[in-house]
Amino acid sequence: MAPSAITPPQGVQETSELTAAAVAGKIAQTAPGLLKNGVKTTLRPLDASRLRLTRTTTPMTVPQPGDPIIATASQCTDHMITAVWRSTTGWNDPELRPYGNLSLAPTASVLHYATECFEGMKMYRGFDRKLRLFRPDANCKRMLVSSTRIALPGFDPRELEKLIIAMIALDGPKWLPKAGTFLYLRPTMIGSAGALGVATPKEATLFVIATFMPPLGAPQGLKLLASTDGVRAWPGGFGFAKVGANYGPSLMANGEARARGYDQVLWLLNGQVTEAGASNFFVMWKSREGKTQLVTAPLGDKIILDGVTRRSILQLTRERLSHGRTGLDPVEIVERQFTMEDVVQAVNEERILEAFAAGTAYFVCPVSVIHYKDQDLQIPMSQGDSGPYTALIKSWLVDIMYGREQHEWGVVVEEE
């Protein structure tokens, strides 16, 4: 489908202003405690101190390394968090309870109107044997942005973080015993009210699960297929929010890219580079003035997901690579719109140094090929499996996540 076929018409700015006002109203109504001058409400806030614990009586078996079930990403841990919000009462007491199926009416809002958002996080077993989360505050704050964008209730992100910590403190010792490993965490909120009608859900269900996830990556570098006839998101839309509606429509294109021998789609918008699959995309090149630049698409148009890994890469690069103290040339960070034609010119002029995709699932993954207009553009990987900048940035993050470097981003969880 051509970009013009699904790009919103003129007037999108008015729609954006309407949405912003609605989001502000949703927070004021459902989570006034987040506002300096929030009005009092009788609706109960999400409160982790009221967590009710029910331990499982049918514990599951932890799969061993190499077990085929790991590749299915379906094996969860023994427990999960659930909490229900209703428009008349607010949040019920959250529960930490045995993992199990949810009960939904066929008329539930999420099944018809895509009122669903989620987060992608990991818990890590450090090389020092400690259990850690990586910047969970950022994930929980972003989930608030996502939930209120699709008419789901607001909440205090700090309370969600406490609930996540309570769950992994209980399940971590059994399910993540080996140093240097991780489990994937999926906080999710859905519109669970059982009523048809295009309207704000009167009930929502929050849940958090932990699951095994097969390692994702590409030893020879990611091969990307640049999409010239479809878009993932557009200005004034919801590409910045982590909602299911951003992902389902992209699956067909990603599947076709794999069928053609590529790993992911590199999404373009009128030629502008946006994201690689479900990851943020970065390119390291020399400017025509000879500066080494790390270039990535900006957040201003709300097309790009404000990735926690993205944010961390930019901050570490500013702190550690801007002055050339690592033996590599100093790096200038550039957050701006750039096109595939810019990339083609940089490749042809041998100014491309390396490129990579970054996100929770793929982590930091070097890119070796970008297919664009019937041509495979070769991206350098001078170290064989990576470029030097990509490898260094990745090592910094790994050290924080697994405790080799003591850093405020690595939040240690006290286990039961």
pLDDT digits (tens, 9 = 90+) for 161-207: 999 999 999 999 999 999 999 999 999 999 999 999 999 999 999 99
| Contact (Cβ atoms closer than 8 angstroms) between residue 295 and residue 283 | yes
Confidence of residue 16 (pLDDT cuts 50, 70, 90): confident
pLDDT digits (tens, 9 = 90+) for 290-327: 999 999 999 998 999 999 999 999 999 999 999 877 89
Mean pLDDT of 365-388: 96
DSSP letter for 48, please.
Answer: G
Give the pLDDT score at 326. 86
pLDDT > 50? residue 3: no
Using a pLDDT cut of 70, give the percent of the chain over it: 96
Mean pLDDT of 18-44: 87
pLDDT digits (tens, 9 = 90+) for 96-154: 999 999 999 999 999 999 999 999 999 999 999 999 999 999 999 999 999 999 999 99
pLDDT digits (tens, 9 = 90+) for 222-274: 999 999 888 999 988 999 999 999 999 999 999 999 999 999 999 999 999 99
Confidence of residue 331 (pLDDT cuts 50, 70, 90): very high
Q: What is the pLDDT of the chain when averaged over all its residues?
A: 93
Can you give the pTM of this predicted structure? 0.94
